[in-house]
Amino acid sequence: MPIRKSWIEAANNPEGNFPLNNLPYGIFLDENGTGHPCVAIGDQVLDIGLLEAEGVIAVADGPVFDVPFINRFMEKGPAAWAALRARLTSLLAEGGSDGLRGNVPLRQAALMPMATVRMGMPFVVAEYTDFYAGRNHARNVGTMLRGPENALPPNWLHIPIGYNGRASTVVVSGTGIHRPNGQLKGPADTVPRFGPCKQLDIELEMGAVVGTANTMGQPVSVAEADEMIFGYVILNDWSARDIQAWEYQPLGPFQAKVFASTISPWVVTGAALNPFRTATPEREKELLPYLHEPGPMLYDINLEVGLAPEGGAESIISRTNYDRMYYSSAQQLAHHASGGCRMRVGDLLGSGTISGPGVNERGTLLEITWAGKHPITLEDGQTRTFLEDGDTVTLRGQARGDGYRIGFGTCAGKILPAVRYP
């Protein structure tokens, strides 16, 4: 699909993140900190709450964009999503409807330079589940823990493994992340101690945002799950590796994961990503029928990780692609609901760490430095095994089309010192 031309000139820039083909949803904050639903177009933010109030767009009989989140819109379902996308495309297209461009007062009030706007959380996170669904990542971590011959657990090739995280600490890009405190016990320690994490890490992931719910007790197929997903964000599931090493047996991650997860501010819709669908890999073990996919369910999205020390230049420490995943978000959602779990509007599903086969394609510092054994050197000569206070990590992603790209905005967070425990 070629680029769709817009009368907003910046939207036609082939190197821009937000062409008319994209139209991701977010929440901008006014001068009082109040959130308003919007879409991104070129270098502008379009206030769709104002368009709704003025009668230029309508999703339902009553307003859905008069609240500081997009959940109310998401719950209207795929037909409403498609109808609004078509209406916005018409309003913003070159030679399209004149309902916005020709109304100068409305146009001036509804469009704001993106560079001047602060973004908030795009949706209310109902629940958060994180998966462990990248084969390269799982093999790397398993090799460190159990050796290459036992790297993957016996169930890994049959089931999307996951755990329930905390919705309460999912934050939007730009939020500072305090180094977590926790119980630590090194190999030479006879008893654990309590203190700040020393091995603070990142996890490069994509997050699927559930837009419609199922009924408790009612499973969904992979195809139905795919229709339930409204869109995607970039996700950094910050991880405290030394806390995790002590606590994770036998039940898995807990304090090591719940202190923070960062998402990008724009939810890129499934409709915008459809041209970039690609298949999951060939299966070493045949999956059970309920996990079979009716078509390509992954996406070709280029991803990168940047790390900048306090006051220093950014170094790109990893580049990979979302197509490296072993299980798709639709499979993860279908598996999540398979036992009767009710999935809710605003549920967030973390893909699991996205790593490629090469050292420069790995999505965690744990893998890049091989548990600290091989430090990396940054642009200014500093070295890192894990994150230090003052470091800023920025994740970026884009799908490249014919003369355009679909971007997500940045997913960034700066590491702040640990809060002193009372």
Pick the catalytic residue from 137, 292, 336, 374: 137
- Rounded-to-integer distance, Cα 17 and Cα 394, Å: 16
Comparing 43 with 145, the larger pLDDT belongs to 43
Tens-digit pLDDT profile for residues 293-317: 999 999 999 999 999 999 999 999 9
Query: What was the pLDDT predicted at 420?
Result: 87
* Inter-residue contact 39 to 21 (CB < 8 Å): no
Q: What is the DSSP letter of 95?
A: T
- Rounded-to-integer distance, Cα 361 and Cα 367, Å: 10
- Rounded-to-integer distance, Cα 410 and Cα 397, Å: 8
Nearest to residue 372, comparing CAs of 240, 170, 199?
199
The 3-class SS string of 53-85 reads HCCCCCCCCCCCCCCCCCHHHHCCCHHHHHHHH
Tens-digit pLDDT profile for residues 123-169: 999 999 999 999 999 999 999 989 999 999 999 999 999 999 999 99
CA distances from 125 to 129, 263, 383 (A): 11, 11, 36
* Inter-residue contact 114 to 22 (CB < 8 Å): no
- Of 81, 97, 119, which closes a domain? 119
What average pLDDT does this structure show over 359-380?
A: 97
Enter the tokens of residue 118.
């602060």
221/111 same-domain check:
no
Phi-psi region of 217 (alpha: psi -120 to 50; beta: other; left: phi over 0): left
216/360 same-domain check:
yes
Q: What is the DSSP letter of 157?
A: T
Query: What was the pLDDT predicted at 137?
Result: 97
User: What contacts 414, CB < 8 A, 6 or more positions away?
Assistant: 176, 177, 390, 391, 392
114/207 same-domain check:
no
102/138 same-domain check:
no
Query: What was the pLDDT predicted at 252?
Result: 87
Enter the tokens of residue 124.
């209310």
191/140 same-domain check:
yes
240/350 same-domain check:
yes
159/293 same-domain check:
yes
Residue 422 within a domain: no
pLDDT interval class at 97 (50, 70, 90) = confident
Query: Is residue 422 scored above 80 in pLDDT?
Result: no
Residue 421 within a domain: no
Radius of gyration of the chain (CA): 22
Tens-digit pLDDT profile for residues 177-227: 999 999 999 888 999 999 999 999 999 999 999 999 999 999 999 999 999
Query: What was the pLDDT predicted at 142?
Result: 94
Strand segments, DSSP code E, in 215-287 are 229-236, 239-240, 261-263, 268-269, 277-278
Q: What is the mean pLDDT of the chain?
A: 97
pLDDT interval class at 376 (50, 70, 90) = very high
Tens-digit pLDDT profile for residues 157-177: 999 999 999 999 999 999 999
Domain range enclosing 215 = 128-416
102/203 same-domain check:
no
Tens-digit pLDDT profile for residues 224-260: 999 999 999 999 999 999 999 999 988 888 999 999 9
Enter the tokens of residue 334.
């279908």
113/133 same-domain check:
no
- Give how many domains the chain has, as a whole number: 2
CATH at residue 50: 2.30.30.230
Query: What was the pLDDT predicted at 249?
Result: 86
108/257 same-domain check:
no
For the whole model, what pTM was predicted?
Answer: 0.97
Strand segments, DSSP code E, in 237-301 are 239-240, 261-263, 268-269, 277-278, 298-299
- The answer to whether 178 is a known catalytic residue is no
Q: 258 in helix, strand or coil?
A: coil
Enter the tokens of residue 374.
């091989």
- Rounded-to-integer distance, Cα 337 and Cα 294, Å: 18
- Rounded-to-integer distance, Cα 338 and Cα 283, Å: 21
Query: What was the pLDDT predicted at 421?
Result: 76
